[in-house]
């Protein structure tokens, strides 16, 4: 069994071009985590392409062996640095964790 961790965010930046720069930067930071955090079994980040005013802006889908691995990831210094970098840029966040076969 694997634990899938899905997180989605909206960004507060009202200017679409500036927001896209922030989203691309955030995506690059998230994409850089798997080589430095061994608990990450899989990680994919997608920037919303349609209806940005109605939908969430960016989503992370990642997988971990179990809850303990997810919790180690959450306190890893590299993950905490990404969170700190993004602080104040988002206006919403939602997460779902579930087991997949």
- Per-residue pLDDT tens over the stretch 45-84: 999 999 988 999 999 999 999 999 999 999 999 999 999 9
Q: Average pLDDT for residues 22-29, to the nearest whole number?
A: 98
Domain ranges of the chain: 2-9+16-94
Cβ atoms of residues 40 and 73 within 8 Å: yes
| Domain 2-9+16-94 architecture | 2-Layer Sandwich (3.30)
Q: How far apart are CA 48 and CA 59, in angstroms?
A: 8
- Residue 10 in tokens: 């909206």
Q: How far apart are CA 48 and CA 32, in angstroms?
A: 19
Give the rounded percent of residues in the chain with a pLDDT score beyond 90. 95
pLDDT at 23: 98
């Amino acid at each position: 069994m694997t634990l899938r961790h899905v997180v989605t965010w909206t960004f507060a930046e009202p200017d679409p071009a500036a927001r896209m720069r922030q989203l691309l930067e955030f995506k690059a930071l998230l994409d850089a985590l798997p080589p430095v955090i061994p608990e990450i079994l899989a990680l994919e980040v997608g920037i919303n392409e349609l209806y940005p005013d109605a939908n969430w802006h960016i989503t992370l889908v990642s997988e971990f062996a179990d809850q303990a691995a997810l919790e180690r990831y959450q306190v890893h210094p590299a993950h905490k640095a990404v969170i700190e970098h993004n602080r104040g840029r988002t206006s919403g966040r939602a997460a779902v964790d579930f087991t997949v076969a």
